[in-house]
Chains A and B, each alone.
Chain A
């Protein structure tokens, strides 16, 4: 019984790997990126969906959402609300300059064996004792509000909390841990653009915009540099997807590659909101005991009409 459970878990874990690179996209969509004065508010949608920017799958999470004020100090998320498909929150832009809003997450995922039994670290934890989510079950599918009606929940009770690196016993073998770092951030400016919040931290995969992300104009070239641990991310594939998929036939996604200096030259055929994403895997984790690292960078930028 126990063996079967672990097999199912492994299967679920294997399934979740392609899920990480599937088309389900996390996105943040600000109501605007260019504002005047210090009385403005920006309202932001956060969701996960295939098509941009249509909230039709899962809401984004407001917990962990951070605000960087133009001077770099932490700001405040206000009026947060999570619906079935979309979360919404506001940020009051009461100081002039460029603000950064988004999430920075770092987690450990992986497995180890104790007495030949494999256990998972991270993720969503284990099923309740005795319960086995079979294929097509609730595994790997975060239940949004309203998803679990009466009788739809796991039969055995609460899910077990996920294991952490601290839970790995001394006699564990086959420890395989991956550090998963991700950033999803947007930039909004009131008044003159500033660059304090654009400064790279030197940690993980990040954007070092040469062209200010709030100064993008259709028909004008933009230059974005990508960095890994503060060094140029050469040959990095970056996906650029324009919003408004429903109103055209093609998705219009472009796969661009950074040069040796990590620089990405972009042109914007049309004004509108664009979603950018890059992922990278390497063997330079920062977390103890991790052997590899998976990084993801996501942003949404607004391109203005000339």
Chain B
């Protein structure tokens, strides 16, 4: 089911000119009513400065009276840090929600060298919300953190 580690590394090598790769694990949860979580990934300069959104996964197909965008503010940290000023859908950033498993996201190639904080926030309908923060150095060094309920491992790999 999950992508194996060697395959991941192979995948990142195949994508050159990125500042690194982030992998986000969405845990499989044994709950009666499961909905895939909304997830936002963004970086913030450690010395302060504007946040840059890397990825947003939400229910893009839900339209009408209660479109999928209605619940984006549940990613409350991301919403405050810049989500509320990001028009959806956002080209190259937004996409559909993802199933449990490990997903990799390339960091933007034009991310300037420096110290950042990588933020991964997940909010799930009828579930909880979690924010995982990982220090990010560009050019990338490997780093890792883990969530405890809504998110699994979040890793950063060089290139």
- Where the two chains meet, the residues of A that have a C-beta atom closer than 8 Å to any C-beta of B are 34-37, 39-40, 191-193, 215, 217, 304-306
In the assembled complex, the Cα of A40 lies from the Cα of B71 at a distance in Å of 10
Tell me which of B25-33, B46-54, B78-86 binds A.
B78-86
Contact partner of B67 (CB less than 8 A), chosen from A35, A39, A306, is A39
Q: Which of B70, B76, B77, B84 has the most CB of A within 10 A?
A: B84
Q: Would you call B23 an interface residue if the criterion is a C-beta within 8 Å of the partner chain's C-beta atoms?
A: no
Q: Would you call B72 an interface residue if the criterion is a C-beta within 8 Å of the partner chain's C-beta atoms?
A: yes
Knowing A39-B65, A191-B84, A192-B84, say if A306 contacts B77 (CB, 8 Å).
Answer: yes
The 8 A CB mask of B86-124 against A (1 = contact, 0 = none) is: 000000000000000000000000000000000000000
Q: Is the CB of B76 within 8 A of A304?
A: yes
| Closest Cβ neighbor of B74 among chain A residues | A36
Q: Is the CB of A36 within 8 A of B65?
A: no
Q: Is the CB of A34 within 8 A of B70?
A: no
Q: Is the CB of A36 within 8 A of B70?
A: yes
- Where the two chains meet, the residues of B that have a C-beta atom closer than 8 Å to any C-beta of A are 65-67, 69-73, 76-77, 79-80, 84-85
For A215, what are the chain B residues with a Cβ–Cβ distance below 8 Å?
80
Q: Is the CB of A37 within 8 A of B85?
A: no
Contact partner of A40 (CB less than 8 A), chosen from B70, B77, B85, is B70
For B66, what are the chain A residues with a Cβ–Cβ distance below 8 Å?
39
For A34, what are the chain B residues with a Cβ–Cβ distance below 8 Å?
73, 76, 79
In the assembled complex, the Cα of A215 lies from the Cα of B81 at a distance in Å of 11
In the assembled complex, the Cα of A291 lies from the Cα of B85 at a distance in Å of 49
Q: Is the CB of B79 within 8 A of A36?
A: yes
For B65, what are the chain A residues with a Cβ–Cβ distance below 8 Å?
39
Minimum C-beta distance from B66 to chain A (A): 7
For A305, what are the chain B residues with a Cβ–Cβ distance below 8 Å?
76
Known: A34-B79, A217-B80. 12 other contacts (CB 8 A): A35-B70, A36-B69, A36-B72, A36-B73, A36-B84, A37-B70, A39-B67, A191-B84, A191-B85, A304-B76, A305-B76, A306-B77
| Closest Cβ neighbor of A34 among chain B residues | B73
Q: Is the CB of B84 within 8 A of A37?
A: no
Q: Which of A34, A37, A215, A305 has the most CB of B within 10 A?
A: A37
Minimum C-beta distance from A85 to chain B (A): 30
Knowing A34-B79, A306-B77, say if A192 contacts B70 (CB, 8 Å).
Answer: no
Contact partner of A37 (CB less than 8 A), chosen from B69, B76, B77, B80, is B69
Q: Is the CB of B79 within 8 A of A37?
A: no
